[in-house]
Amino acid sequence: MIVLGVTDAGNIGVQTALVEFSIQFLRLGLFRVYRRGFKVGYYENQISGNDWIISGNSTSRMKHRLTLLSISLVIAVMIMSSFVSRSALGLVVRACEINSTLTGSPYPCLKIVQSQDPMSSYVVLREPADKERTILAPLADVPGIEDPRLLAAGAPNYFGEAWRELSAIDPRAMKASPQNFALAINAASWRTQDRLHIHMGCETPRFTALLKSHATEIESGRFTNLKTKAGWWATFHAADDLTNLNPLKLVADGVDGARSNMENVVVGVFGSILPDGQHGFYILARINEAHKSRGSAEDMIDPKCQL
């Protein structure tokens, strides 16, 4: 039997227990959670509550069992979400994966895509701390932009996946032109969660103005130092999507000092249509520690596309 007790809201160790519970939850079909006097128990052959027992012998009852297991999983996520921790997003992603396995639903995520390669599997969800923000995160335990696996041969292109999933943004946002859509990722020194995630939305007016004011300086296929106070580098690549463009690799290879300092790099990708009608992407990057002025992915992205 596994018993998970929550007696102190400040006990960060419970989060680790939740992960262990999730694993055993699948293997043993056994779970109990105590919360303000409420108790639910699940056994291999039965489900018991405060004053009822349901046998798990029939297919119909098994469906009920999976539903109840899912409900309990959501309860666990709710408990977890009350903690302020850099691992909270990773736990939510894990909850989505488990619920998808049990019930076929990606809840509390919006979508889950699984591949034979764990690194290529991902979820799309509303940011736990801000339900207006949409993000993409891998199922694999990738802490952030600094993970060396992201620059290896054959590495997944999470920016490419995020661009394909832009329909997950608020439906009202889809009225915006593709040239206004944008993606961004934070540096390790600026993010609040140690699970890689890409912010999805539209470019903010501040960055629309930045790109417009430096349009004549930005070269195609080659990064240019824009000589801004914030230290932005920029390039333009003609393409209809990001299938053959991996922004992280382009930044690592094209921005001076970036490859050896990826933990301090911020990257933004902005859809664009040039005056001659050419479709493509502006890629912006900066190394935070090299400049006093700080910036984040949230500064680049309007999650609701209120243009």
Higher pLDDT, 288 or 196: 196
133-161 average pLDDT score: 96
Q: Is 304 exposed, middle or buried (0-12, 13-18, 19+ CB in 10 A)?
A: middle
126 φ/ψ angles, rounded to the nearest 5 degrees: -80, 140
On average, the pLDDT of the chain sits at 77
CATH for 116-302?
3.30.428.30
State yes or no: pLDDT of 155 exceeds 70. yes
Cα dihedral sign, 100-103-106-111: positive
Indicate whether 173 pLDDT > 50. yes
Alpha-carbon distance 98 to 139, whole Å? 11
Determine if the peptide bond prior to 138 is cis (ω within 30°).
no
Provide the 3-class DSSP secondary structure of residue 116: coil
Q: Domain segments of the chain: what residues?
A: 3-103, 116-302
Q: Is 38:68 a contact under the CB 8 Å cutoff?
A: no
- Tell me the pTM: 0.76
The position carrying tokens 């469906």 is: 63
Say which DSSP state 218 is in: P
What φ, ψ does residue 95 adopt, rounded to 5°? Answer: -65, -40
How does pLDDT run across 205-254, given as a tens digit for each residue?
Answer: 999 999 999 999 999 999 999 999 889 999 999 999 999 999 999 999 99
SS3 assignment, position 119: helix
Q: How many CA atoms lie less than 13 Å away from 25 in the CB half-sphere?
A: 30
pLDDT of residue 118: 87
> What average pLDDT does range 288-299 have in this prediction?
72
CA distance 58 to 40: 20
